[in-house]
Amino acid sequence: MSTVTESVRTTLDMIKIEHTLFALPFALLGTVLAARGVPSVWQLAWITAAMVGARSAAMTFNRIADRHIDAANPRTSARAIPAGLLSLRFAWAFTILSAALFFLASAMLNRLTLLLSPVALFSVLLYSYTKRFTSLSHLALGWCLSIAPTGAWVAVRGAIDSPVPLLLSLVVLLWTAGFDVLYACQDFDFDRKAGLRSVPARVGVARALWVARALHAGAFVALVGLYSTVGLGWLALAGVAATGALLVYQHSLVRADDLSRLNAAFFTTNAFVSVILLVTFGGAALLGR
């Protein structure tokens, strides 16, 4: 029994289940905004299943694709596959099962979600290779996470019939790309030596921090545009203000000569951003109903 428990724990650590706090709230927010309130239990259950399936497949495939890179990087050498805690065969099986769950959930929602599901899955799998050929891999990751809110909107309505999901996806894209640039700063030296592409590896840590700030400024502008479009009143406005304050605080934690508080900036602050927007914009949509 302890072996099974340990395997489950290792698998959840491999896919970084705690990072679900970054993407799932945005999918749920897209669901609530599309439904103009509470979606059906059926929709909510299958949207959640689709998110879990797609994200698990993407994360596990990323670990498979990067296993040799992870083994060479001191920061990631203890990850499950390079450390021998999980076999490559198990990782492939888990990826396939997760992808199958994603396709099943898409099929159970509506025809358009099923038709678009291969595009979404291809995007999240392709991301694993982007760092090998482009410094824009951060935007690629942003694109992958930005699929969630628009995908949830389509799952509820069966169409993209409003600018609202696109604006929400733009917020997610720029916000994700910004914090991924920050996160990549800690691998600056390794990425340059290994020939991997990233904004810090290309322009240095100091300039990369300014790129991250610019991306987050763009995300805030897109968020203001979303607020203006949905017209959800004071509670949503409070979410805009809180998000702006958290973004400023996040960047105050990191300096080019001091990355010691990077984990606090990356994990804690970003989890708060997604949850705050779900509570404020989602709560305002429910109150407005």
Model confidence at 3: pLDDT above 70: no
* All structural domains of the chain with their residue ranges: 2-288
For residue 173, the model assigns a pLDDT of 97
For residue 70, how far is the Cα from the chain centroid?
Answer: 20
215, 177 Cβ separation under 8 angstroms: yes
For residue 170, the model assigns a pLDDT of 98
- Return the structure tokens found at 180: 């991924």
For residue 1, the model assigns a pLDDT of 47
Looking at per-residue confidence, does 85 or 214 come out higher? 214
What does the mean pLDDT of the chain come to? Answer: 91
**Out of 13-17, 114-118, 159-163, least confident range:** 13-17
Percent over 70 (pLDDT), the chain: 94
Looking at per-residue confidence, does 67 or 8 come out higher? 67
Residues 22-74 pLDDT 10s: 778 999 999 999 998 889 999 999 999 999 999 999 999 999 999 999 999 99
For residue 2, the model assigns a pLDDT of 53
Q: What is the mean pLDDT of residues 237-249?
A: 95
170, 222 Cβ separation under 8 angstroms: yes
In angstroms and rounded to an integer, the radius of gyration of the C-alpha atoms of the chain is 19
Cα 164 to Cα 161: distance, rounded to the nearest angstrom: 9
Model confidence at 107: pLDDT above 80: yes
**Out of 98-112, 178-192, 257-271, least confident range:** 257-271
55, 15 Cβ separation under 8 angstroms: yes
The secondary structure of 129-173 as a DSSP string is HHTTT-TTHHHHHHHHHHHHHHHHHHHHHSS--SSHHHHHHHHHH
For residue 272, the model assigns a pLDDT of 86
For residue 19, the model assigns a pLDDT of 66
For residue 46, the model assigns a pLDDT of 96
Percent over 90 (pLDDT), the chain: 73
**CATH for the 2-288 domain, from 1.10.357.140, 1.10.1520.10, 1.10.10.10, 1.25.60.10:** 1.10.357.140
Looking at per-residue confidence, does 289 or 132 come out higher? 132
Residue of 161, 158, 125 lying closest to 144 (CA atoms): 125
